[in-house]
Amino acid sequence: MPFSVIATIVALSFLPVSELRGAIPYAVAKGMPLWEAALLATLCNMLVAPVAYIFLETFHKLLYKWRWYAGVFDRFVERSRAKVHEKVERYGYLGILLFVAVPLPVTGAWTGTLGGWILGLSRRKTMLAVAGGVLVAGAVVTLVVGLGAEAWSFLIKKA
């Protein structure tokens, strides 16, 4: 497998828009065996949570010194916490895991980590919940891609 394809798979796994939902189908389309694609994309996507925490905490500390940022951020956080407080109390980290596990746009590791960070949840527990969600999403995407590839090859053989 060419390095450029592997680098693209890793990049897709890290991008907030595609994550493993885009990386696994891309890898399979480029000829990587499904299990290798799933393993690489899932492991890379699991690294999003620690990287996101480093990014968020570093830039937040720098920007929070500016009064306008602090005011906007504080209002946003209070409004967000008020909206989801009941659900967070009810579902907690399982809610983050399930949210990340749904393989749809805007429900991945970046959003789950951002939500946990904004709500002030435990970093360690949030990262574990995100990792669990990524594992479930990886299994779902792998299953869908595998079944789709089998169906496609079956249709081509019939033709």
Neighbouring C-beta atoms of residue 146, cutoff 10 Å: 16
Instruction: Identify the pLDDT of residue 87.
Output: 76
DSSP string, 84-144: HHHHHHHHHHHHHHHHHHS-STT-SHHHHHHHHHHTT--HHHHHHHHHHHHHHHHHHHHHH
pLDDT tens by residue, 36-46: 999 999 999 99
Instruction: Identify the pLDDT of residue 76.
Output: 83
Measured CA to CA, the distance from residue 126 to residue 78 in angstroms comes to 19
**Residue (of 125, 147, 146, 129) closest to 36 by Cα position:** 146
**Residue (of 59, 50, 66, 52) closest to 16 by Cα position:** 52
Instruction: Identify the pLDDT of residue 4.
Output: 95
Work out the burial of residue 123: count CB atoms within 10 Å of its CB; fewer than 13 is exposed, 13-18 middle, 19 or more buried.
middle
Instruction: Identify the pLDDT of residue 140.
Output: 96
Contacts of 114 (CB under 8 A, 6+ apart): 52, 56
Contact between residue 42 and residue 134 where contact means Cβ atoms under 8 Å apart: yes
Instruction: Identify the pLDDT of residue 50.
Output: 96
Instruction: Identify the pLDDT of residue 148.
Output: 85
Instruction: Identify the pLDDT of residue 153.
Output: 64
Through-space distance between the first and last CA atoms of the chain, rounded to whole angstroms: 29
Global confidence as pTM: 0.85
17 token code pair: 């828009």
Instruction: Identify the pLDDT of residue 24.
Output: 97
Instruction: Identify the pLDDT of residue 5.
Output: 95
Low-confidence spans in the chain with pLDDT less than 70:
149, 151-159
